[in-house]
Amino acid sequence: MAAKKRSKSRAERTEEMRQSILDASLELFIEQGYDKTTTRQILQKVGILNGSLYNIYGSKDEIFADIAIKALSEAMDMMDDLIGPNVGIPERVCYLPCIEIFASSRSPRIAELLSVATERWDIQRRISAFYMERLGSLHPEDRDTMDDPSFVIGMIAYSGAIGAVLRRMSEDQGAMDEKSVMRVICSIQLKTFDVSMDDLDGYIDRLVDAFETHRIVICGIQV
């Protein structure tokens, strides 16, 4: 006699629905862009009613924040393989802007989606909190620095700068030299963290070489 199949718990059903919403939303964002995607389209693609969506996500921005954080987490998970496990805080704080710029220089859609993540405050606030938590876990000794008001202001300035660059990349591919952009944005980030790097140009060259020889996927798009 066949064993009776276990019924899924409410938490399991909710998690499955959440993942279906994220998968459908990402497909639409990649296909037609963030601004052109509506919650109605997401509902139709998943095949659910309004209430089912809003029981899990309050807005399209909340959906995108989870997608962006997942992409950020995956990018940071690659960090040790790309730059080595024993590098210091300067190399780590420059890694993320470099991989974002590298991917954006090769995909207008990635550039657009990443720029959205910096332009919308509710999304950016969640992403920044996740980023600070990851860096803080790698370098606990720097947590006090990250709580300083001047540091927070610096991060806001950095977000505005990289957001403007990514938006330009989304609108005019090839208009900006990626290594020059990396140098400027990394300089802002290093200043924000109050650290320095002796050979920033050499670091960027090595990092781009590593990116070009690895499989890089950002926001579900391989570059």
Q: What is the pLDDT of residues 182-212, one digit of tens each?
A: 999 999 999 988 889 999 999 999 999 999 9
Residue 1: per-residue pLDDT: 47
Residue 173 has pLDDT above 90, yes or no: no
Nearest residue to 39 (alpha-carbon basis) of 10, 114, 51 = 51
Q: What is the pLDDT of residues 83-119, one digit of tens each?
A: 888 888 899 889 999 999 999 999 999 999 999 988 8
Instruction: State how far the alpha carbon of 125 is from the alpha carbons of 22, 67, 118, 152, in Å.
Output: 19, 14, 9, 11
Distance CA 162, CA 164 (A): 5
The confidence band for 146, taking pLDDT boundaries of 50, 70 and 90, is: low
Residue 181 has pLDDT above 90, yes or no: yes
